[in-house]
Structure 1
């Protein structure tokens, strides 16, 4: 049995508009890559059928934008949101060193 693929990702909730709450955290992907799990939630790919979203929560139907984090930190799809992007504590050090390239 192979280990599931995990990756640090940017996750933005689009259920309430274009600039929703956003986090950086470790996401676990299915073998096919068509679904992802994060914090007990399962997300399924929209397959190009979403409006500014690429996944939906399989339980609630809420839309999300999930993508790899950018080195420059400009992860939001739309600039101008005053809402901060939260970074999960368990990946914070790895995010800042590996993704953002900052030394401790």
Structure 2
């Protein structure tokens, strides 16, 4: 997954990573880098710049699937840091392989 820190940074200027992320069955909670992230829900709480927040720190993140053309950041060409445990699958994805868990669509 592509993950970018939004809190404390101008639009798409925060650090970004390609990571392995574990989700609950409902995709409302994600676990990554020792953090528990919850999906932003409801119009009153919705922030168009983030879609998850850290339940302990309140920091906001944008989480999405990676893109083969590497245009993951919406308004920047900044390249994400690739976690070592995600590198092999990410490089295979860039060469055309499906993402792990998405082999059938």
- Which of 89, 92, 102 aligns to 2:87? It is 92
Query: Is 1:41 matched with 2:35?
Result: yes
Runs of 4+ in 1 over 6 A off after TM superposition: none
Larger strand proportion, structure 1 or 2? 1
Task: Tell me how far apart the structure 2 counterparts of residues 51 and 15 of structure 1 sit (CA, whole Å).
Answer: 13
Measured after TM superposition, the shift of residue 94 of structure 1 is 1.2
State which drifts further: 43-52 or 25-34: 43-52
- Check whether the contact 2:29–2:36 (CA below 8 A) recurs between aligned residues: yes
Q: Aligned residue for 1:6? A: none
Q: Aligned residue for 1:5? A: none
Matched residue SS, 1:26: coil
Task: Tell me how far apart the structure 2 counterparts of residues 28 and 80 of structure 1 sit (CA, whole Å).
Answer: 26
- Which of 70, 73, 77 aligns to 1:73? It is 70
Task: Tell me how far apart the structure 1 counterparts of residues 48 and 59 of structure 2 sit (CA, whole Å).
Answer: 12
- Check whether the contact 1:43–1:55 (CA below 8 A) recurs between aligned residues: yes
Q: Which runs of 5+ in 2 are unaligned?
A: 98-105
Q: Which runs of 5+ in 1 are unaligned?
A: 1-8
Measured after TM superposition, the shift of residue 77 of structure 1 is 2.0
The TM-score with structure 1 as length reference comes to 0.81
Measured after TM superposition, the shift of residue 102 of structure 1 is 6.5
Query: Is 1:21 matched with 2:15?
Result: yes
